[in-house]
Amino acid sequence: MTDSLKVVPTEDSVSTGVRNTETLASGLSDVLADTYRLLFKTHAIHWNVEGPLFFSVHNLTEEQYQDLFAAADDLAERIRALGHLAPARMDDITKRSRVDDLSAKATTADMIEDLAHDHEKLAHRLHALIALAGTHRDPVTEDLATARSAFHEKAAWMLRALAKS
């Protein structure tokens, strides 16, 4: 094995003026965990939804899981840019996340309502991260969290609007 394959990822010191990067990285890791769990849940609903709203829910969840997948990468890369390691174990994701699994026997209405609720939970968590980032002089994380919160608020609204049909 070459030496280049023996490199172990480490945390790095970042001197950009951001204060307390460990706290920020932890908050970002929580959001990443929720994002990853919601990505899987959204994808599973995309696969399994049935009924008169199939086409609408199937298409909307596809747009949402694609956005969530890209967001997971952005969040992990921000953690790394702050000098910390992103979560690398599924049990870390599960422990940090506030997103719960959906019942195997959920109706389409249950699926939609549950997703909307999870998007709201994630928006709340992002609002806290926005405040934390502002306190620690981290406008980059603040901007990222603001954009992510806007996505989740819109996703919750769209899901609830769809459920009214």
Taking only the tens place, the pLDDT of each residue in 86-114 is: 999 999 999 999 999 998 899 999 999 99
Q: Dihedral angle at the C-alpha atoms of 157, 160, 161, 165, nearest 10 degrees? A: 170
In which band, very low, low, confident or very high, does the pLDDT at 63 lie, cut at 50, 70 and 90? Answer: very high
Asked if 83 and 16 touch (Cβ cutoff 8 Å), the reply is no
Smallest CA-to-CA distance from 81 within 144, 128, 155, 165 is with 144
Cβ partners under 8 Å of residue 9, min gap 6: 85
* Fold annotation for 18-29+58-163: Ferritin (1.20.1260)
> What share of the chain in percent tops pLDDT 70?
99
Rounded alpha-carbon distances, angstroms, from residue 9 to 4, 80, 83, 87, 93: 12, 10, 11, 12, 19
- What does the pLDDT average to over 62-67? 98
What per-residue confidence (pLDDT) applies to 1?
61
Among 7-11, 138-142, 150-154, 159-163, which is the least confidently predicted range? 7-11
What per-residue confidence (pLDDT) applies to 8?
83
pTM (2 decimals)? 0.93
What is the CA angle 104-67-90, rounded to 5? 55
Distance CA 155, CA 57 (A): 12
What per-residue confidence (pLDDT) applies to 165?
63
Mean pLDDT of the chain: 94
* 18 has pLDDT over 80: yes
- Per-residue pLDDT of 121-140, as tens digits, reads 999 999 999 999 999 999 99
* 148 has pLDDT over 80: yes
Smallest CA-to-CA distance from 68 within 39, 96, 105 is with 39
* 47 has pLDDT over 70: yes
Distance CA 91, CA 42 (A): 19
In which band, very low, low, confident or very high, does the pLDDT at 4 lie, cut at 50, 70 and 90? Answer: confident
Asked if 141 and 78 touch (Cβ cutoff 8 Å), the reply is yes
